[in-house]
Amino acid sequence: MFVDDPKEVRDADVSAIAALDEPTRRRLYDHVVRQPGPVGRDEAAAALGLARQTAAFHLDRLAEESLLDVVYERRSGRSGPGAGRPAKLYRRSTKQIEVSLPDRRYELAGRLLAQSVEESTATGAPVQEVLHRRAEELGRLLGEPGSPGLLDLLERYGFEPRDEDGAIVLGNCPFHALARDHTETVCGMNLHLLRGVLDGLGERAYAACPSPSPGRCCVRLEPVA
């Protein structure tokens, strides 16, 4: 789950949200999600005073964007031969869509923190120790063979890397609000995550070092002499 290409996910989410900018499509989406059960094309068209063809077009577009799920049910209550074809129905998608600017990765941080607390509770190991190990493991996974280069990987995960006198400065913290309120915990997690990324990529030219500075990530990738 963590290793899905975040740029592709973000682009898909932006496309889905943009689809709701069309007024008729937004009305149909709002109508469907307010209903207690799946909604058919005829029902949606009648409720909003639309032609059936228009409702069908926009409902299918919402499904293509993963904003709605499609299910098939027989509305007659009968089954077997002569029961007719199942109707195509729509309901709210189970997919969660979220876009943030600047880029944030709160779900990634939340999962790491939750898994670390659970493991610490089960084993008695210090939670910070577990968190740092798990963060490094995830970083190595992100940097496994077949991954993009270091700068591309950092860009994909929202760090906004840029060169500064030979070092790689990270212009954005994907965990900004958490790091602001829980600095030691989240910045420590981030440091070990990036150390894992370097290790996974086999990148020996840089070392991840703590470097707190206003308006940027708390970690800086320093060139190794």
Q: Is residue 119 part of a domain?
A: yes
- Give the count of domains, the chain: 2
Full pLDDT tens readout for the chain, 225 residues: 344 566 666 667 778 788 888 999 999 999 999 999 999 999 999 999 999 999 999 999 999 999 999 999 876 655 555 556 788 999 999 887 766 656 788 889 999 999 999 999 999 999 999 999 999 999 999 988 777 889 999 998 889 999 999 999 999 999 999 999 999 999 999 999 999 999 999 999 999 999 988 888 999 999 997
- Does residue 55 sit in the same domain as residue 159? no
Are 179 and 134 in the same domain? yes
For residues 10 and 59, state if they share a domain.
yes
Of 46, 69, 92, which one is at a domain's C-terminal end? 92
* Three-state secondary structure of the chain: CCCCCHHHHHHHHHHHHHHCCCHHHHHHHHHHHHCCCCEEHHHHHHHHCCCHHHHHHHHHHHHHCCCEEEEEECCCCCCCCCCCCCEEEEEECCCCCCCCCCCCCHHHHHHHHHHHHHHHHHHCCCHHHHHHHHHHHHHHHHCCCCCCCHHHHHHHCCCCEEEECCEEEECCCCCHHHHHHCHHHHHHHHHHHHHHHHHHHCCCCEEEEECCCCCCCCEEEEECC
Show which of 59, 92, 125 is a domain's final residue: 92
22 inside domain: yes
Residues 118 and 218 in one domain: yes
Q: Which domain holds residue 216?
A: 106-223
Is 218 found in the same domain as 111? yes
pLDDT for 127 equals: 97
Of the three residues 39, 61, 92, the one that is the final residue of a domain is 92
Model pLDDT, residue 150? 94
